[in-house]
């Protein structure tokens, strides 16, 4: 970039709203974005107990 050029904003990455729900068979569930790959698949996740998922369903 030179003095006369204006800074450009980075192009936003589209977000994939789809999630994959995985279980270990012991009442623990893990939610991972289906669009995640490689390191993202290992770092962009949340794990909850099965009872928490039931409570969320009842709230709807």
All structural domains of the chain with their residue ranges:
19-59
Block means of pLDDT (10 residues each) for the chain, length 60 residues?
A: 66 68 86 85 83 70
Tell me if residue 2 falls in helix, strand or coil: coil
Q: Retrieve residue 38's tokens.
A: 């490689």
pLDDT at 11: 61
Q: Quote the pTM value.
A: 0.50
pLDDT at 55: 67
pLDDT at 12: 59
pLDDT at 31: 87
Write the Ramachandran bin of 49: left for phi over 0, alpha for psi from -120 to 50, otherwise beta. Answer: beta
Write the Ramachandran bin of 37: left for phi over 0, alpha for psi from -120 to 50, otherwise beta. Answer: beta
């Amino acid at each position: 970039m030179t003095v006369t050029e204006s800074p450009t904003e980075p192009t936003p990455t589209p977000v994939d709203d789809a999630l994959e729900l995985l279980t270990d068979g012991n009442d623990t569930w893990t939610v991972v974005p289906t669009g995640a790959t490689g390191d993202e698949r290992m770092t962009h996740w949340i794990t909850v107990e099965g009872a928490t998922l039931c409570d969320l369903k009842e709230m709807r």
